[in-house]
Amino acid sequence: MELSLYHLVREPKIKKEKNPLLLLLHGYGSNEEDLFSFASELPEDYYVVSARAPFDLSYGSYAWYAINFDADENKFSDIGQARASRDIIARFIDELVTNYAIDAENVTLIGFSQGCILSYAVAVSYPEKVQRVVAMSGYWNPEIAVDDYLENDCSKLRIFASHGTVDQVIPVEWARKSIPALQVLGIEIVFKEYMVGHGVAPQNFFDFKHWLTK
């Protein structure tokens, strides 16, 4: 079964006719094994799928899009690659629903860092494919969304967003600014901050798991 993205799967321990999906999207320079390491801790009735980003950086390290630096050390994102990844992920969700016993009405994206940025873009661009997002250590970049995203109905979308207050990679201010920008679209958001850097605090993990199960 050749799907758009290489991925790891943890099948649900409690199988129904259709099971909900948790799709894990890793950060820049990481791989599909990173977030998958906590798959065993996630709710047992879900399919847990961890996808590998399409752009190869070096051995075992992948990206959803390139991050480049100019002569003045300004960092900028390759928006073309980011948009390509957005649509690959959207297609991948359809493929998973076709190939596994997944409930298309119960899809959650869990993204960290660059995977979080992509999760926001996919959910807002294709709200009919995604019901919930767990957005960790990232921010909303409207440039990556489809051009006419403002015409989409995002009112059924639920987001749990979190960020470390001492994140040196993506400033917490970027995450804070994202919340009102997404609420304007009618999205219901829970936002929490933790005293950590660019990573997932144990309490953060516990909180989003609780949010998922309720």
Task: Quick: pLDDT tens for 51-78.
Answer: 999 999 988 899 999 887 666 656 678 8
| Rounded average pLDDT over 153-181 | 96
Question: In the prediction, which pLDDT does 59 show?
Answer: 86
- 125 Cβ neighbours under 8 A, 6+ residues apart: 86, 90, 145, 146, 149, 152
User: Cα(154)–Cα(139) distance, rounded to whole angstroms?
Assistant: 17
pLDDT at 145: 97
Backbone angles phi, psi at 63, to 5 degrees: -140, 150
In this prediction the pTM is 0.94
Domains and CATH numbers, the chain: 7-213 (3.40.50.1820)
Structure tokens at 44: 């047992």
Instruction: Output the pLDDT for position 127.
Output: 98
> Taking residues 117-124, what's their average pLDDT?
98
Alpha carbon 49 to its chain's center: 12
**Chain-centre distance of CA 143, in angstroms?**
16
pLDDT of residue 195: 96
Beta-carbon-side half-sphere exposure of residue 137 (alpha carbons within 13 Å): 26
CA distance 64 to 60: 14
- Rounded to the nearest 10 degrees, the angle between the axes of helix 114-125 and helix 79-99 is 70
Please determine, for residue 30, whether its predicted confidence score (pLDDT) is greater than 80: yes
